[in-house]
Structure 1
Amino acid sequence: MIFHAIGLMSGTSLDGLDICFIKFEKKHSWSFEIIKAETVSYSENLHNHLKHAIDLSAEQLLELHSEYGFFLGQSVRYFIEKHQLKNIDLIASHGHTVYHQPQKKFTLQIGDGRAIRLETGIPVVYDFRSQDVLMGGNGAPLVPIGDELLFSEYDACLNLGGFSNISLQSEGKRIAFDIAPVNIVLNKLAQNLGKDFDENGNLARKGTIQKDLLSSLNSLEFYHQPHPKSLGIEWCNENISPRLENLNTPDALATITEHAAYQIAEVINNNRLKNILFTGGGTYNQYLIEKIRDQIQAEIIIPEKEIIDYKEALIFALMGVLRLNNEINVLASATGSTADHCSGIVIN
C-alpha cells in the first residue's frame, strides 16, 4: 500500500503552520519519505487572533474557526501549486488548540476541515482529539501511534514544543504524557524583551536561576500525578504565570529552562532510558539541551532538520491515513481513554 498525504500542524508556541507532504508505504511495516515541507508564518493579525483566542466570545471564536480553516486550505493550495504536487490522497489537519480541558470532557482545535476541503478539493481528516476526550482520555499525546509505527528503534521519543512530551515502551505498551511547559512560557518571556523566542537559550544563559521559585515549580501537583496526563495553556496561566510576575525576564527564562530540564531529566532517569529521539523547536535551544545533558546518562539523538521541525505534521498525516483505512490511530495506553480507537472527522 502506498499513500501520499499532507499533514498540517500548528503548535501552542505559535511559530507558524507546518505543512508536510509525505509518501507512506506499508509492506511488513510502515515507512515514510518526506518529499516537501515548509512552515508558513502567520501574519501579525492572525498571530494575535490565535494568541488571544482563549479570550474571545463564542461568536468571535466561531468566526476565527472558519477564518483559520480557510487560511489552512489556502496555505495548502499554494503549497501544492508551488511544488506542483500530484496524486494527494488526503490532508490531515491537527488544527490550533484553544481549549484543552479533558477532565471536563472537552478540547477544541479550531480550523474547520470543511473549509480546507472547499479550498483544495482534497479529502480532509481533522479533529483528532475530541473523540478520545469523550472516551475518558486526555486527548493527548496523540503522536505515540507514529512513534510506535515509524520510530520504534528508539527507547523513547521526546518532543520539545510548547510543552515537552514523551512516548516510550513500558511493559509491552506504548505510554506517553506531557512533562512540562517549554516554549509556551519561554517564548512569552522572550517577547518581553522584543524577541520572538530565546535563540539558543542565550537570554536564559545570562539570567540567574531562582532557587526558591525552582523549588516551588517542581513541587506543583501535576508533576507528582501518575500518567497519562496532559497540559494546556489554562494550566500555565494558573500555575506558572503568577509565579513569574515580579521577576526580571532573564532570571525567569533561566529558571523556567532549568525547571523544564529537571522535569525532563527526572522522566528519562526514572524510566532508565538509553537513547531518546529529540524533536521540536526546543531542540534548537542549546542551553536547554545542555541543562538536560548535565542531568542524564542517556544518549540524546538529534535527527536531521526536517524530522526535528516536521515530525508532528508527519505523524498527523499518518493518523489521517490510518483513519481512512479504519485502523487504530489513538492508543489508550498513551491517552488514558477506555480503548484504542480510530479517530478523526473525515470530509470526502
Structure 2
Amino acid sequence: MKKYQVLGLMSGTSLDGLDLAFCHLWEGAKGWEFSLENTKDVSYGPQLRDQLKDAIHLSEQDHEQLHKDYGVWLGEQALKFITEKNLNVDFIASHGHTSHHRPDEGYTFQLGDGQLLANNSKKKVICDFRTKDVSLGGQGAPLVPIGDRLLFHEYDFCLNLGGISNMSFEKDGQRIAYDIGLANMPLNFITAKLEMAYDEDGRLARSGHLDNQLLEQLNALSYYQLPYPKSTGYEWFTEEIVPLIESSKASQADLLHTFIHHNCEQIALEAQKHASGPTQKMLVTGGGALNGFFKETLQVKLGPTIEVSAPSATLIAYKEALVFALMSVLKEQGKTNVLSSVTGAKIDSCSGEIFYPQA
C-alpha cells in the first residue's frame, strides 16, 4: 500500500485566498482514504486580489504576464509552507485560479504557470486539470465529484458552497454533478461595499428582510433552466447578477438576506429533483458551510427528508485542495480523474499536465 504525500493548492472564485493542504492519500481495503496533515490559508493582498479579479479584462500580453507572476507566487508560497512545516512532499497539485471559463467556445484558462511553480517550489507539479476535458467537448467542470465518489461515498449529495454552488450525486450508476448557480460570490460582492471581508456567520444577512422583487428576478435567470451538464463562473456573475445588485434599492442586509434565500431555493429544487429515498444525507463544504444563516436556511428549504451535514471546519475549508491532491495521484497512476458523466465530455479522461523543477 503506497501512501502519497501531496500538497494541494486551490484558489476559488470567491477570491478569499490560496488554500494549501498537505494530504496523505492511500488506497485501503475499502477504497481511497485520506488524512489532512497540515493546512494553511494565505490571504490575497489587495493588489493581487484585484489583478486576479480583473484578469478576464486583461490584454493577452498582460494576462500572460499575470500567469507567470502568479505561478512564481504560488511556488514561493508552497516552498514557504513546506519549509515552515518541514514537509516531505512527493508532488504538488495545483488548481490555479480560473480567469476565463468558456467551455461552449472550447476555452478555459487557469492562471499559475506550472513550470514556474515547479521551479520556485523545487517540487514536481501536476496542474491544468480542466483543459483536456474541454478539448473533449466537456465543460471542464465541476471536477470535485471524482473526490466525492472516491472519498465521501457515504453521502447521498455532496454540495460545495464556494463562490458558486455545485452538487454531485450518484444516479443510475453514474456520478452526476453540475454548477447549480450562486453561493458566496454575490455575498462577498455586497460585503466588499461595506469594507467587510465577509458576513461572519451570516449575521448581517440574518438581520435583513426578503426583497421579493429581487428574488423573482434571480429565480427567473435563464441559467437555471439549462439542462445539466452545465457550469458557470465569474462571467455570468458580472454580466447577469451584478446589474441586478447595482440597480436594487434594497439595503445591504436585505440584499444578503435575499441572496441566501435565493441560493437555498435553487439548491433545494435541484436536490429534491434527484432525491431517491425517504431520508438522505447532504455533505456541505466550502465557505458557505461556515455561514450559520446559510446552513439554517438551506435546511428549512430542503425540508425534513434531506439532512444537512457539515464536517470539521478544516475539511470544510480544504476539501477542494484535498480533491485536487487526489486528482494528481490518479494522474500519476494513469487512472481516470475527470468523469464524462459530470462534464459532458465524449469520454472519461486522465487529466493534468506534469512539470519538473528546472534550475
2: CA distance between counterparts of 1:194 and 1:122?
38
1:47 maps to what in 2? 49
1:280-299 mapped onto 2 (5 Å cutoff): 280-296=286-302, 297=304, 298-299=306-307
Give 1:208 shift. 2.2
1: CA distance between counterparts of 2:255 and 2:62?
33
1:198-209 mapped onto 2 (5 Å cutoff): 198-209=199-210
- 2:247 match: secondary structure: coil
Which range moves more in the overlay, 3-12 or 45-54? 45-54
Q: What amino acid does structure 2 have at the position aligned with 1:254?
A: H
Residue 37 (structure 2) aligned to one of 23, 35, 44:
35
Which range moves more in the overlay, 270-279 or 329-338? 270-279
Give yes or no for the alignment of 1:313 onto 2:321. yes
2:348 maps to what in 1? 340
Which range moves more in the overlay, 227-236 or 216-225? 216-225
TM-score (norm 2): 0.95
Q: What amino acid does structure 1 have at the position aligned with 2:322?
A: L
- 2:7 match: secondary structure: strand
2: CA distance between counterparts of 1:311 and 1:47?
22
On the 8 A contact 2:290/2:313 being kept in 1, the answer is no
2: CA distance between counterparts of 1:260 and 1:116?
36
2:15 maps to what in 1? 14
1:97 maps to what in 2? 98
1:61 maps to what in 2? 63
2:263 maps to what in 1? 260
Deviation sequence 1:21-66 (CA, Å, 0-9, x none): 1111113311111110111111221111112111211111111101
1:1-348 mapped onto 2 (5 Å cutoff): 1-28=2-29, 29-86=31-88, 88-247=89-248, 248-272=251-275, 274-296=280-302, 297=304, 298-348=306-356
2: CA distance between counterparts of 1:192 and 1:116?
33
Deviation sequence 1:73-109 (CA, Å, 0-9, x none): 00000000100112x2110100001111100000111
TM-score (norm 1): 0.97
1: CA distance between counterparts of 2:217 and 2:166?
21
Q: What stretches of structure 1 of length at least 5 have no aligned partner?
A: none
Q: Determine what percentage of the aligned residue pairs are the same residue.
A: 44
After superposing on structure 2, the runs of 4+ consecutive aligned residues of structure 1 that deviate more than 3 Å are none
1: CA distance between counterparts of 2:35 and 2:204?
36
1: CA distance between counterparts of 2:75 and 2:281?
38
Which range moves more in the overlay, 203-212 or 287-296? 203-212
- 2:347 match: secondary structure: coil
2: CA distance between counterparts of 1:246 and 1:24?
48
On the 8 A contact 1:90/1:321 being kept in 2, the answer is no
- 1:169 match: secondary structure: strand
On the 8 A contact 1:106/1:133 being kept in 2, the answer is yes
Q: What stretches of structure 2 of length at least 5 have no aligned partner?
A: none
Give 1:207 shift. 2.2
Deviation sequence 1:258-285 (CA, Å, 0-9, x none): 1101001111211126101110001111
Deviation sequence 1:136-192 (CA, Å, 0-9, x none): 111000011111111101101100000010010011100000111111111011111
